[in-house]
Amino acid sequence: MNELTRKQQDIFEFLLGNQQDFAYPPTLDQVCSALGLNSRGSLHKHIKALTLAGLVEISDRKQKGIRLTEKAKQYKRPDDESAGIPFVGFIAAGKPIEAIEQISYINIPEQIKTDNSCYILQVKGDSMIEEGIFNDDWVIIEQRSCAQNGEIVVALIDKAEATLKFIEQYPHETLLIPANSNMSAMKFRPEQVEIQGVLVGQMRSYINK
């Protein structure tokens, strides 16, 4: 699914979840109407991209309905529990790095996530090693916009760079604190730091690469 734009993926997932609601494969006009789109031409371009990706095909009916291919029917929708939770890229445990989203889905044990919305990040860096969080570990993050002092959070700094650290919050400043005695706490004005989630689980591979 990585070759699709967000709009194309939205259209595909709509078709995947709603084809049973149509007596026949829906036409471009029906999809436009259902999605509230104004431009039939723009939709046609997205459908062409989905066709090239092997996910949809145009039926031979006079109305030119859009139907899913067999390849598409094997795809698990993100709201399907068996599809896992989203892996959205890398997080710095060290110097903040740019937050990059490259969404795919990973199945994980129920025991290391919560019932709330969660996502997975892969750690880059060594600032959390004294907490047992190492480079290339995967961390499970419960999506939250607030945290208690002392929790390990995903912090977005100045809406540009993300890091994984302990957090201490005060009226005049926010501290992002590493678990590495060779590193110092990072100090910011409260408005510079946006909490994007709290650490709830962790995974590690011991396979030599």
Annotation says 82 is catalytic:
no
How many whole angstroms separate alpha carbon 167 and alpha carbon 188? 11
- DSSP annotation of 195 reads E
Q: How many residues does the chain have?
A: 209
How many whole angstroms separate alpha carbon 91 and alpha carbon 176? 14
Annotation says 165 is catalytic:
yes
Q: Residues 196, 155: contact at Cβ < 8 Å?
A: yes
How many whole angstroms separate alpha carbon 59 and alpha carbon 61? 5
Helix (H, G, I), strand (E, B) or coil at 101: coil
Strand partners, 98: 161
How many whole angstroms separate alpha carbon 35 and alpha carbon 179? 47
Catalytic one among 7, 73, 95, 127?
Answer: 127
Catalytic one among 33, 45, 113, 165?
Answer: 165
Query: Which residues are known catalytic residues?
Result: 127, 165
